[in-house]
Structures are given as structure tokens and as C-alpha cells.
Amino acid sequence: MRIVSRFLMVALFATAVAAPSRAAEVDNLLPKETEFIVQVNVKQMLESDIVKKFALGHLKQVLEGMDAQKVLADLGLDPMKDIEKITVGAWGKNQEDMNAVFVVRGTFDAKKIMEAAQTAAKDMADKVSIVEEGDLKLIKFIGDKGKPGYIAVQDGKPIIAATDKKLLTASVAALNDKAKPALSKELTALVMKQDAKASMFMCGVTEGKVGEIPGDFSQLKALGVDGDTIKKGLGKLNSMGMTLNLGKEVVVAIKLGMKDNDSADEFAGEIKKLVTAAKTFLPIVGGNQPNFKALIDDVSKTLDSDSKEKDVVLTVKLSADAIGQAAGGEKKQDDDK
């Protein structure tokens, strides 16, 4: 029943991308090769009620550690205040062939960051070095698997990193020249459907890239679900999008784009059956886990699925108290104290 468990987990954390209050902007620093985009609104996350209640204290403890304090002081960086948003554009045939460009927006001290990199280059010459590309000074670093990466830091501008020096210099040129966005028409349309105010979103064009899904889906028949339809539908996805919104509750979201309305309706029909099965069996599975009872109750009440034109969508909302109990049994704090 491993495939059943896997799909139940997908159902647990899936939700639809709601109509955005403001469309996300298409980043002009990402190259045209980009196939997938992840954007994290760091500032919004840190200011959300749920992070303040359950995570902010832990984050501060980590950053107050002696090693972290020294590194951050050398960089002139306060992650709790200075980082606003991180955007990543990635593409490739597989994990070994992946390329990416990272854009970190916020307030940075370029001089201090470069000085810290120069010190690191002296202390760890095999891992860090300063290389020149025209008028640019780039920080080169060697990752865990021996692959190089590059970082560009300029006064008053975003920090840009990339897996290739040419990619980095092209993004820096796009920044300095205020170039127009170069993403494909399909990916641009997906980005503009995302909510700019979301804590995080990711989206990508998957047409022709998913291929044959491995595994035996026939076991889903025990839940009254046509596994073949699920398997074929996943293999024919044209696009996907996911959002995470943190506030007084957590809303996680997934939208799966199909090739046409009929395909979406057929796939959505089986997904709805899977959602119904999840809502039925999750309370049984979690019956012996008191800390998860509130979380399971939230899922059972709010988990839903639907088909909207070519998209298959699923939705779920999780309360702060339920997540707190699942994370460690924290009790709700009395705001009136």
C-alpha cells in the first residue's frame, strides 16, 4: 500500500491556487531557459502570526549562536530584517544536469560581504575564491559535490547567484540594463497567475517532461480509485503550481494543468475519490496519535478538490493550533494575559 500512502500524503498537503489579490511579477533576471520558478517571501513569512507563534523563537536562538553571530556580523547581515524575497529559476534534464539562478532581494552591505568572501578565500582557498569577469568581481565557491557556483554582489542591488559564470554575468547585465523579462510565454502566464503576496509559490511548465510515472497504481482500486487514470493524468501534466500562505492559518496549494478540459475533468474525478478516501481513512490512521488529532480534523473538514477549465485543483487549510500540537503539543497562548 505504499503508493496509497504516498497519494494520501499528497492529498494532505494539496490545495488550489486561489484567485490572487495581486499578480506576481515576472523576474527579469531569470534566463529564458528557466522551466521552474520558486519564490519565497521571507519578510511576509517572518511577519506572519503562525511563524511568530511557533518558529520565530527557534530561529532567533539559531541566529544568536556564537558561530552564526560572527558570520552574520562579518557579512553585515541580519536575516530577520534584511532579506525580503528569494526567487529561484531552475531547469535541466535531471538533478545532475540542473542549472539555476538565485536572486535575493533586500538590504545588503556589498562591501562587507565582499570583504568576508576575500577573508574566506584566504582561509579556504580550495572552497572559495574571487574571480574577475570584465569589471565584475565574483565570489566563486565549490559545493559539496565539487560543482562550482558564483555570486555577484553590488551596492544597492539584489544578490545574484548562479550555477554557471555565464548565467550569472547575463543576469547581472539584465539587472544593470533593466532588461525586459525573457521567460517563455507559457511560464510567464503561469507566474502571472500566482499571488504576489503569497508566502511562497512555485510553478513550472511540465509539458513533455514528466513522462511515464513509475510504480503500480492498481492498489488504489482498494480505495475505489482508478489508478490507471491517476497515473496517466500525472504523466500528461502540462503545468503545475503551488502556493503556501502563512497567516493565522496555513493554506498550502497545488494546481495541476492538463492538456484540455476533458482530461482535467477525468483526472479530477479520480482525485476527488482519492480525497474522499483520505478524509475517511486519515482519522483512523491518526487515531493513536493525540497530537495529530486537531491537524487531521482540519484536513477532514477543509480538504477539497475540483476541476476548473483545464486545471485540477485541491484545497486544504490548517489552523495554527493544530500545527502547534502536531509539532510538539504546544498549547494555545492566551493573548489576553
Place 333 in a pLDDT band, splitting at 50, 70 and 90. very low
pLDDT for 334 beyond 60: no
Compute and round to an integer the Cα radius of gyration of the chain.
22
Strands of 36-40's sheet in order across: 128-133, 136-142, 148-152, 159-162, 99-106, 83-91, 36-40, 200-205, 239-246, 249-257, 311-319, 304-308
| 155-177 burial code (b ≥16 CB/10 A, e <16) | eeebbbbbbbbebbbbbbebbee
Taking residues 92-112, what's their average pLDDT? 91
Q: Give pTM, 2 decimals.
A: 0.85
Query: Quick one: angle between helices 261-285 and 293-302, nearest 10?
Result: 150
Between residues 83 and 286, which one has the greater pLDDT? Answer: 83
Average pLDDT of span 311-315: 93
Does 8 score more than 50 pLDDT? no
Long-range contact list for 287-294, CB < 8 A, 24+ apart? 291/325, 291/326, 291/328, 291/329, 292/325, 292/326, 293/325, 294/319, 294/321, 294/322, 294/325, 294/326
Cβ distance 69 to 75 under 8 Å? no
CA 244 – CA 231 distance, rounded (Å) = 25
Write out the three cell numbers for 197: 503576496
